[in-house]
Amino acid sequence: MKLNKRRIAEGGLLVLKEGGLENLTIRKLADHFGIKSASLYYHFRNKQELLDYVADGIIQNAFRPPRPGEEWQGWLLAIALRLRECMHAYPDGALVCAGASPPTDTMTTFQAIYEPIQRAGFPRDPTRFLLFSLIRFTIGWTADEQVAMTRGTARPQQMNDRAFEFGVRAIILGAQKLVALGANPV
């Protein structure tokens, strides 16, 4: 089996699913593939680059193009809900995504997400800032939920879901209002 960064990241997701971030070590990942740890460093400069690809594997599963006739606001809400769900599929999924830098070979996905928002009248910078805010809010929210679960202090799910959706809608509506007012995002 020929290894590449994507295939190794997929293995990283399996190791992450088995035991969370603490379990995701270079040694355990190398064992997963039946290779020596040093072989992984042929593909990745360091563990952070590996984690960036693992995080990208989680995040990429959340993105989809808008459906015909779907308004961009509902589409962004659906992406945020799906991103939260994707991170919850892995112990520490949100912690892996926190602070990750998307690999340069996936930047086209982000460009595809800009397009529907810009067609709705958003300039480039407010579009970028809206997406950054939405993704970071979702990662932070989900990290808080996952930490609370590990501590046994999880909040009622229905309240959490409603509050999360409220927060996402507030970000989207707030961005719309700022753009309509001509506010400079910088």
**pLDDT score of 154:** 81
Q: Is the pLDDT of residue 31 over 60?
A: yes
Q: Identify the burial level of 165 via C-beta atoms within 10 angstroms of its C-beta, where 0-12 means exposed, 13-18 middle and 19 or more buried.
A: middle
Q: Which segment of 74-78, 84-88, 157-161 scores lowest on mean pLDDT?
A: 157-161
Total residue count of the chain as it appears in this document: 186
pTM for the model: 0.90
185: left (phi over 0), alpha (psi -120 to 50) or beta: alpha
Stretch 119-129: mean pLDDT, rounded? 91
Quick one: fold of 65-180? Tetracycline Repressor; domain 2 (1.10.357)
Residue that wins the pLDDT comparison between 112 and 42: 42
Full DSSP string of 40-71: HHHH-SSHHHHHHHHHHHHHHTT--PPPTT--
Q: What is the pLDDT of residues 139-148, one digit of tens each?
A: 999 999 999 9
Interacting residues of 70 by C-beta distance below 8 A, sequence separation 6+: none
**What residue ranges do the domains of the chain occupy?**
5-57, 65-180
Q: How many other C-beta atoms can be found within 10 angstroms of the C-beta atom of residue 14?
A: 12
Q: Is the pLDDT of residue 112 over 90?
A: no
CATH homologous superfamily of 5-57:
Homeodomain-like (1.10.10.60)
Q: Is the pLDDT of residue 56 over 90?
A: yes
